Amino acid sequence: MGDDCKCPDGLPEYLATFADLMSLLMCFFVLLLSFAEIDAVRFKKMAESMKDAFGVQKEIPANEIVMGVSVIKQEFSPTVGDPSVLNEIRQQTSEVEKQYLQMRDGESDGRNEAMAQRAEQELEQQVEALSEALEEEIDKGMVTVERDGEKIIVRIQEKGSFSSGSDRPQRGFFDIMRRISEVLAERSGKIIVAGHTDNVPIHTRRFRSNWELSSARAVTVAEALLKNQKIDPKRVLVEGHADADPLVPNDTPGHRAKNRRVELVLVRGNDRAGKVIALGDADDGL
């Protein structure tokens, strides 16, 4: 027995043919798949039927949000306790205290009235002091002194101030300023020097507009005021308003002359509507 029953080496010969057949079938199905067109609607229906067939869980929409269960609510019941006693402290004003408060209110009103009377007296004293200091100019018609509410206005006519279109004052101007500075030196507060012009435009080699002219005249007045060593320069502010703040409409030569001025405003605290000293100047328009 020996050599006749021995099997041949290697795989059987039919497996080569079988392998070739499988390869051809795979290539055939691959070609079919590449040539095929997928119907999305039918595919979706088939997928849904497969889910129903294999028991896939459906999504059930919830109309209300699922809320948690409170363990405290299940295990404990609320109880109503006895209200605690609140300590209340109430303040009550006696009749004697009411009378005392009324007396204090009356004293406060009296002090306010006394302060108002004192301020009124100070204003009258300042009017008298300026009128006495400028009595000669008032008699000549160069200066007028008047009071308008809380304002004291000293107005210098144009013939006693600046020349036409110039920031150089005329003769006698510094004497007027010296007497005014002596009165202002005895009073406290800010002194605002504000220059004003009429609405006639100006354009010269020195002044390009009324803004520069009004500012230059305000500076000239401020320098004349500071010649008095008793006036602290920190009290003085300089402003130029041009024709932006007229006293009267610029419709006549007389009105334009009235608007040409330099104002010295004596301010107490932060109130800019204090004491005003208005200095008129000469014809501005060139």
What are the pLDDT digits (tens) for 141-162?
677 777 777 777 777 666 667 7
Q: What's the CA gap between 156 and 280, in Å, rounded? A: 5
Least confident span in 28-32, 45-49, 90-94: 90-94
Q: Return the pLDDT at 15.
A: 85
Q: Return the pLDDT at 230.
A: 92
Q: What's the CA gap between 3 and 80, in Å, rounded? A: 107
Residue 283 in contact with residue 260, Cβ under 8 Å?
yes
CATH-assigned architecture of domain 113-280: 2-Layer Sandwich (3.30)
The residue extents of the domains of the chain are: 113-280
Answer whether 0.85 is exceeded by the pTM.
Answer: no
Provide the pLDDT confidence category of residue 30 given band limits of 50, 70 and 90. confident
Provide the pLDDT confidence category of residue 212 given band limits of 50, 70 and 90. very high
Match 């004291």 to its residue by tokens: 152
| pLDDT of residue 251 exceeding 80 | yes
Least confident span in 33-47, 59-73, 223-237: 59-73
Q: Return the pLDDT at 270.
A: 46
| pLDDT of residue 244 exceeding 90 | yes
Q: Return the pLDDT at 273.
A: 44
Q: Return the pLDDT at 271.
A: 46
